[in-house]
Structure 1
Amino acid sequence: MAYTFRDIIDSLPAEKKQEDGLWSKFVLRPLALPFTWLSLRLGLSANGISYISVFFSLAGGVLFSLNGFIYPLWGAILLNFFSVLDCVDGSIARVTRTAGPWGGWADAVMGFIAYTAVFLSTGIYVYLRTGWWWILVVTALTSSANLLTRVAYQIYKNIEGKTAHGTVSFERKLADNVGITGFMMPALIICHFLGGVEYIVGFNLLFYLGGCLLTIFKLAKKANLSHSIDI
């Protein structure tokens, strides 16, 4: 079946449009539109795009970790293209009606990998230019906090089911605006040119560590966890 641009645009539900961050809504989704159309023409599946996207995040992370100017620039560009592909796979799944548990899981895992690649590569980037060894500890802590938040949410989701999504809607909206589908990605390019990647590292630590603690407290309180859970 030949899908049109209109088919792709109309496949995005109203609730998904409301959840999108500003960067996703005005930049990533418009950029993803031609890539979605091309992927459909080539017969690529949503899962296939998810698998392809991980190479962009890993390659981007490695290149951004290198010294010099050109390699990190290309790294930042590849990481930003990952964000575009993160929209493409969802669009393909919706327009072809092939969304499923495996696809959602694969997309989530690719996102976890991308976050880790960004956090660790920014730490190495700053370390190579300043010699601050502790910046590597900071970025490792940031990455761990982000993963812990997501694991805590998945456990909570197993308890609460469909109502879990609404519990953290504000937090998800905020994360979408500043994370790998938000302003952090173009900030990598801007700060590479102008300087200040260390400020991105500092912001990420405060945002994700603070968010981790607040989210876990909120979920525990919401679920009324008065006993330990055997995982």
Structure 2
Amino acid sequence: MYYSYKDIVESLPIKKNSKSSLWVKLFVRKASFPLTWILINLRCSAWGASILSICVALTGFGFLLIDNELSRITGVILTQLWLILDCVDGNIARVQKKSSEYGEFVDAISGYYVTGFIFLGIGVAAYNTSSIVSSPYLIGCIILGGVSSVSGLLCRLIHQKYTYTTMVVNDNASAIPENEAKQKFSLQYIRSRVDKELGISGLFMPFLIVACVFHIYDLMTFFYCLFQVVSLIIITLYYAVKAR
């Protein structure tokens, strides 16, 4: 079956786009439409797009590890492409009317891979390019990148475990934290918005481009280590208190 470009654009609900980060709304969604049109008419499924995004993310991580300017640029470009593909799988699912919980599960795996590796990759890039960290302490950039990745994964693990436990206890999906996040100005809503705007689908991507151009991977590593650790502390305390 042939799908038109119009089919793809019109499949995006206004409400869904409004929940996205500013970066995604202004640039990534629009960039995802032509790529969706190509892949969907090549008979690529939403599942296939999700798996492709994982491969792209891991390849981008690999390029960031190489101490070569062209390799780092390639890694940054592939990381940007990953976020576009992260929108493509959802576009395909909506156009084909094949959205499912398992589709969201595979999509989430892609995000976990990026969270688990990208900060470490940037830490290695900082190790190879830093001009503000003296040589004996450069290894700290890699360590901070690793701490960022672990903290990011722990945030998601804690959130998902609480969500699962809440559903089991209440035997009701309406009690999950995501529904609280829909209530504007609730703590969960604010946390969710901050994560979207400053996290991997938000400020992170333009910051990565700037870091690549001006060789400030070190500053990016410092900022996101602080952001991820503070986020982990807040999420740990928040869910621990809710679980009392």
The verdict on a shared fold, with TM-score over 0.5 as the criterion, is yes
Distance in 2, matches of 1:200 and 1:49, equals 29
Separation of aligned partners in 2, 1:23 and 1:206: 21
Residue 67, structure 1, aligned to residue 67, structure 2: yes
- In the TM superposition, 1:74-89 aligns within 5 A as 74-89=74-89
Query: Which residue matches 1:11?
Result: 11
User: Equivalents in 2 of 1:12, 1:193: separation in Å?
Assistant: 33
The answer to which of 184-193 and 65-74 deviates more is: 184-193
TM-score, structure 1 as length reference: 0.90
Residues 83-122 of structure 1: CA deviation (Å, up to 9, x unaligned): 1000100111112111112211111111111122210111
Distance of 2:229 and 2:213 partners within structure 1: 27
Q: How much has 1:38 moved relative to structure 2?
A: 1.1
State the distance in 1 between where 2:84 and 2:139 align. Answer: 32
2:159 to 147, 153, 177: 153
Moved more, 182-191 or 15-24: 182-191
Q: Please list the CA deviations of residues 133-170 of structure 1 after superposition, one character each: whole Å capped at 9, or x if unmatched.
A: 12222111111111111111111211153341034333
Is the counterpart of residue 124 in structure 1 residue 137 in structure 2? no
**1: distance between equivalents of 2:107 and 2:75?**
21
Task: Look up the equivalent residue of 2:102 and give its one-letter code.
Answer: W
1:202-223 per-position Cα deviation (integer Å, ceiling 9, x unaligned): 111111111111122222333x
The equivalent residue for 2:217 is: 197
Take 1:43 and 1:73, find their aligned partners in 2: how far apart are those partners? Answer: 30
Distance in structure 2 (CA, Å) of the matches to 1:187 and 1:154: 27
Residue 136 (structure 1) aligned with residue 156 (structure 2): no
**Distance in 2 between residues matched to 1:97 and 1:125, nearest whole Å:** 41
Asked whether the equivalents of residues 129 and 215 of structure 2 are also in contact (C-alpha less than 8 Å), the reply is no
Partner Cα separation in structure 1 for residue 89 and residue 192 of structure 2: 19
**TM-score (norm: length of structure 2):** 0.86
Question: What letter corresponds to residue 229 of structure 2 in structure 1?
Answer: L
Give the Cα–Cα distance (whole angstroms) in 2 for the partners of residues 37 and 191 of structure 1: 31
Residue identity in the other structure for 1:187: F
2-structure distance, mates of 1:119, 1:105: 22
**Separation in 2 of the partners of 1:173 and 1:86?**
18
Aligned length: 224
Identity %: 28
Greater shift in the superposed pair: 153-162 or 88-97: 153-162
User: Where do 5+ consecutive residues of structure 1 fail to align?
Assistant: 227-231
Q: How does 1:142-221 map to 2 (within 5 A)?
A: 142-158=148-164, 159-160=166-167, 161-162=173-174, 163-165=176-178, 166-167=180-181, 168-221=188-241
Residue 100 of structure 2 corresponds to: 100
Q: RMSD between aligned alpha carbons?
A: 1.6
Cα distance in 1 between the residues matched to 2:153 and 2:7: 35
Asked if residue 109 in structure 1 is aligned to residue 109 in structure 2, the reply is yes
Which amino acid in the other structure matches residue 177 of structure 2? A
Question: What is the distance in 2 between the residues matched to 1:91 and 1:177?
Answer: 21
CA distance in 2, matches of 1:86, 1:99: 14
Can you give the 5+ residue segments of structure 2 that lack an aligned partner in the other structure?
168-172, 182-187
Task: Report the Cα offset of residue 36 of structure 1.
Answer: 0.8
